[in-house]
Structure 1
């Protein structure tokens, strides 16, 4: 007798189509907005991206549930509600490139005052160009030097900046930074940098890390 297929719930049809060719896997499309009629059979559930749902919201009736797969790198908000015997997986590594690209794009837009140009364009207001700062020669501080933090540093490096990295603990550097500073050094480092990119997980240790005092530096 053939083994029962692994029933996997996915939030969108595209995901189900991508898994069609996997032997021994049966996908059901479930956006988790309401209980699924086959909920008791689901062993692996993929959460919708950027969801406000908690595991307590969706785990009711999922008697066979073994694994919950998140589509985000962050997972802290889900930890309090992980059911006993269920493994919670995040999407570590999936968003490194896109998040780092966004950090660079927003930094360039801010330094070059692109939002002001957008407003002027919308109102057909054309003011004489003035000299604006450049990212080149800036001192960039990356706070949080995990996978995404390194991806951020890698994208800033070609812009002729001076990179400094901060992590939970001091350690040797890599090909991008000669040394990684500990988080306890942050107050001393902040006044000496032009750009600060914060890419840390929200934990008890990082909550309130950038308070009014830190921002004033």
Structure 2
């Protein structure tokens, strides 16, 4: 019997890319919902796998309904919308797709930094308003020389490493903090490593976030963290929105202690109930204009990376069911609870 893969929140018209990968080895059952309750109960209970996009939360009560499910694959990297512990308790491995979009995300992060450090948006606004009167360079407070300044990466996984390499290409002094990497890791990359978050914040001119969202990292950039940063520094977040306490971010920007921020991710996506900082940015209030850049969680996106994300997730499913290969698992220990 052909395994059935439930795609409960596939926000694409058809699973054509996925079907081209798996052929007749798997059968997809596609929905485009954000509420698990809108999926028929029998669909949850009879599927052999779940292909999870980003618009629905797989909570413990949903996972409890996966009577036959043997695999959950996240179409993307982040798994904070899946209760991976509940899946582990049910003996269900959860995998993500870590090998797509790395270069796009790193390029996007550097683009946010360059746009702020070189005043791209304020210069455009000046010229748009007055081609003659606005034709001057001075007076944009975020503009600075990058060469010789300190780029601080919090987390040095794939994307953090790619960002660090790019920062070195701009002759920045790269330092990182990552307590999960083995001793000596820095020697292979020729980077500087610090032993604490506080040490990094105290010397970095640019702080770039590259950690997953966990209970330990949620709100890692809070009021204390912003106070520990160097005056006039820049924050870049291309990881997860809730890593940053937005009240603390607004206060740091309003005080001028933080010069600017470039964010591709927000605490709520899309921001249906925008934070006052976002409202001030929308209205181009003078105190924030040109000091904040927001993009719509688009760092990963290109036609090539989007295709890779879908194709690689389908290949992960196929390898599991056709070859017995289960890779890129984010909830180790699931084997201990696997049904006999």
Q: Decide which moves more: 104-113 or 57-66.
A: 57-66
The 1:54/1:27 distance shift into structure 2, 3 A limit, reads closer
User: How far did 1:6 drift?
Assistant: 1.7
| Matches of 1:133 and 1:162, distance apart in 2 | 15
Q: What is the CA deviation profile of residues 182-213 of structure 1, one whole-angstrom value per residue up to 9, with x for unaligned ones?
A: 3xx22123232211101112223323432222
Return the alpha-carbon distance in structure 2 between the equivalents of residues 46 and 122 of structure 1.
46
Corresponding residue number in structure 2 for 1:212: 223
What does residue 183 of structure 2 align with? 171
The residue that corresponds to 2:335 in the other structure is none
Match of 1:193 among 195, 204, 210: 204
3-state SS of 1:160 partner: coil
Aligned pairs for 1:124-203 within 5 A: 124=130, 126-130=134-138, 132-169=143-180, 171-172=183-184, 173-182=186-195, 185-203=196-214
Higher strand share: 1
Cα deviation for residue 139 of structure 1 reads 1.1
Aligned residue among 90, 106, 114 for 1:84: 90
Instruction: Tell me the equivalent position of 1:15.
Output: 15
Quote the Cα distance in structure 2 between the aligned partners of 1:189 and 1:17: 43
Structure 1 runs of 4+ with >6 Å offset: none
The size of the alignment, in residue pairs, is 211
- Aligned partners of 2:151 and 2:128: how far apart in 1? 32
Pair 115,57 (structure 1): closer, same or farther in 2 beyond 3 Å: farther
Show the counterpart of 1:45: 50
CA drift at 1:124: 4.4
Shift of 1:5: 0.9
Per-residue CA distance 1:81-125 (angstroms, 9 max, x = gap): 537232221222324222212211111111112232343355446
2:167 match: secondary structure:
helix
Distance of 1:57 and 1:119 partners within structure 2? 50
The unaligned stretches of length 5 or more in structure 2 are 230-340
Q: Is the 8 A contact 1:157 1:176 kept in 2?
A: no
How has the CA–CA distance of structure 1 residues 58 and 130 changed in structure 2, closer, same or farther, with 3 Å as cutoff? Answer: same
The DSSP-based 3-state class of the residue aligned with 2:82 is helix
Unaligned regions of 5+ residues in structure 1, if any? none
Greater shift in the superposed pair: 109-118 or 74-83: 74-83
Instruction: Name the TM-score, length of structure 2 as normaliser.
Output: 0.54
8 Å CA contact 2:177, 2:200 repeated in 1: no
- After superposition, the CA RMSD in angstroms is 2.8
* Alpha-carbon offset, residue 14 of structure 1: 4.6
* Greater length-normalized contact order (CA 8 Å, ≥ 6 residues apart): 2
Q: How does 1:43-82 map to 2 (within 5 A)?
A: 43-49=48-54, 51-56=55-60, 59=63, 62-79=66-83, 81-82=86-87
Higher deviation after alignment, 143-152 or 77-86? 77-86
